[in-house]
Amino acid sequence: MDNQLDIATITVADVAMKFPHALEILNRYNLDYCCGGKKPFGLVCEDAGLDAESIWHEIQSAKTDRGEESRMHFDSWDPALLIDFIEQHHHKYVRESIPMIQELLVKINEVHGENSPFLPAVRDRFSRLADELLDHLPKEEEILFPAARKLFKTKGSTGDSSPELNLDAPISVMEHEHEEAGRLIKGIRALTDNYTPPDFACPTYKITYTMLSQFDKDLMQHIHLENNILFPKIIKAQG
């Protein structure tokens, strides 16, 4: 039974995978299920000054209210399909969104920089995040993902994996880069008060915050799919 799970020992990543609807709740409380997803749920809540029992009850209540869960359970997907989804959905979104958000940040800095002294820091952090991600994506697309596809194809056709396909090192590099991306987006989240525009914000200001918030949510799911679902599948396939 779900209510018999030990919230002191179950990890935040486990909560995110077992209850896909919980992502909204975890995001709302800034509970990291991506880079810090391997930490116990109870401990993460305690460190954040939150009541783990209360949040757990909220997750369970949300599940009951929704009835049959309609979200996609990515952990049951074929790994090759999951890789395709990450590339076609998340990687495409990152590349398309970055230039639009950067242009908006330049505009609101020019108009509101004096009234919002934190905006240059938001612009600079997002620029660093953009550089990080645009350098990161080709490493996955050109090195890790092709090797993973080969690994899963070999595993599926022979029932065993090829010994030369050890992807521990590139996975470790990707996870480290995810941590840096996560650190940068959390900084942006803090600077913008969780993307809450000030009272005097013009429509462009509000649109910028909306797009930053959407980018944040997409990035969290992106990292979650890789760190908590895809990478463990790759490691397991290696034997």
Are 12 and 42 in contact by the 8 Å Cβ rule? The answer is: no
Those residues whose C-beta lies under 8 Å from the C-beta of residue 56, and which sit 6 or more positions away, are 7, 41
The C-alpha atoms of residue 48 and residue 53 are separated, in whole angstroms, by 13
19-23, 76-80, 82-86: lowest mean pLDDT where?
Answer: 19-23
Q: What is the pLDDT of residue 48?
A: 87
Residue 1 clears pLDDT 50, i.e. is over it: no
The pLDDT value recorded for residue 23 is 79
Chain segment 148-162, per-residue pLDDT in tens: 999 998 876 444 545
Torsion of CA 96, 171, 9, 70, to 10 degrees: 40
**In this structure, what token pair is assigned to residue 82?**
């999951």
pLDDT at residue 66 in the model: 52
Q: 149 with 80: CB under 8 angstroms?
A: yes
Say yes or no to pLDDT of 113 above 50: yes
- CA-nearest of 33, 35, 29 to 52 is 29
**Residue 187: pLDDT band with limits 50, 70, 90:** very high
pLDDT for 160:
52
Residue 71 reports pLDDT greater than 70: no
- Assign 5 a pLDDT band (cuts: 50, 70, 90): low
Average pLDDT over residues 215-238: 94
Packing angle of the helix pair 119-139, 203-224 (nearest 10 deg) = 40
Q: What is the pLDDT of residues 12-35, one digit of tens each?
A: 888 887 787 787 888 888 888 877
pLDDT tens-digit readout, 164-176: 678 999 999 999 9
Residue with tokens 């929704």: 66
DSSP 239: -
SS (H, E, C) the chain: CHHHCCCCCCEHHHHHHHCCCHHHHHHHCCCCCCCCCCCEHHHHHHHCCCCHHHHHHHHHHHHHHHCCCCCCCHHHCCHHHHHHHHHHHHHHHHHHHHHHHHHHHHHHHHHHCCCCCCHHHHHHHHHHHHHHHHHHHHHHHHHHHHHHHHHHHHHHHHCCCCCCCCCHHHHHHHHHHHHHHHHHHHHHHHHCCCCCCCCCCCHHHHHHHHHHHHHHHHHHHHHHHHHHHHHHHHHHHHC
Q: Which pLDDT score, from 0 to 100, does residue 26 have?
A: 86
User: Which pLDDT band holds residue 220 (cuts at 50, 70, 90)?
Assistant: very high
The percentage of residues in the chain with a pLDDT greater than 70, rounded to a whole number, is 90
